[in-house]
Amino acid sequence: MIKTVAVIGAGTMGNGIAQVFAQSGFSVRLIDVAQPMLDRARGAIEKSLGKFVEKGTLTPSNRDEVLGRLATATSIDDLADADYVVEAIVEHADTKRALFTSLDAVARPEVILASNTSSISITLLGAATGRPDKVVGMHFMNPVPLMTLVEMIRGQATSAETMAVASKLCADLGKTPVEAADYPGFIANRILMPMINEAIYAAMEGVGTPEAIDTVMKLGMHHPMGPLALADFIGLDVCLAIMTVLHDGLGDPKYRPCPLLRRMVAAGQLGRKSGRGFFEY
């Protein structure tokens, strides 16, 4: 029986994942190496729950109960009581592999270790543990409280039982799981990220201003958000990390990260989270 869920990484995604688990009645331990990220995450969760209260879909007392189910910590050492783990740290394979080795040492042997990675091989993460059958991709979409899809990635060694438990958990959260095979970028980012990268090339080459590019895709293609605003929302560092995984993993030059994307990330223009990307926030 899964009652307590540990979420590792309290950035854009970790706070949303922690929120939906707490809203669905689970006790949540949100863990990050940086205390300021934990403080920011709690603030973001309070703000998001406040919007549900304003809309009338959550009562103030429910909100307080949800917040009461959320605990934060800066170390993974007290994971012994976690029944399920979701990793949502930086999109960097070596950092994630090192974390999975540490999680394997502290989590009980039967506990499933899920990763919210956008593109990194689940098989590779599983191989950093002694329980590759219990390592699975659980790719939530941003913003997590509003988006209903969870892309479920089956690694080479992931067991059918692990897939079943993780998929049932998605349903418990009110989300729809869709299975994808373990190839770079899976389904979502294999298709989405090259489009965003191409929009960045179009901006770099002056085919259109960022406003024009986004307007064409919104009004012309009926996308709810333009690709450059979406890149800012995702985080340009995350976009670059995903394009790098696609390029390295698939080998095709068509996945080459746009030089403008590299330059903006090097300059710390990461999108919403840094206050500036293709647009200002």
Ligand X SMILES: NC(=O)c1ccc[n+]([C@@H]2O[C@H](COP(=O)([O-])OP(=O)(O)OC[C@H]3O[C@@H](n4cnc5c(N)ncnc54)[C@H](O)[C@@H]3O)[C@@H](O)[C@H]2O)c1
- Confirm if 128 and 112 have CB atoms less than 8 A apart: no
What's the min distance (Å) between Cβ of 216 and ligand X? 22
Q: Could you say which of 118, 119, 167, 197 is catalytic?
A: 118
Q: Which is nearer to ligand X, 72 or 116 (CB)?
A: 116
Angle between helices 227-234 and 236-250 (to 10 degrees): 100
Please say if 247 is a catalytic residue.
Answer: no
Q: How far is the CB of 32 from ligand X (least distance, A)?
A: 4
Active-site annotation holder among 116, 139, 167, 197: 139
Q: Is 119 a catalytic residue?
A: no
58 vs 234, which CB is nearer to ligand X? 234
How far apart are CB 190 and ligand X at their closest, in Å?
A: 14
| 118 is annotated as an active-site residue | yes
Complex with ligand X: residue 217 or 245, whichever CB lies closer:
245
Minimum gap (Å) between residue 208 Cβ and ligand X: 24
46 part of the active site: no
- Minimal CB distance to ligand X: which residue? 11
Q: Closer CB to ligand X, residue 136 or residue 238?
A: 238
Please say which residue, 131 or 139, places its beta carbon nearer to ligand X.
Answer: 139
Kindly state the smallest distance separating residue 13's Cβ from ligand X, in Å: 3
**Selected catalytic residue, list 121, 151, 167, 197:** 151
Binding site for ligand X (CB under 6 A): 8-14, 31-34, 37, 88-91, 95, 99, 116-118, 139, 142, 234-235, 238, 273
Catalytically active residues are: 118, 139, 151, 189
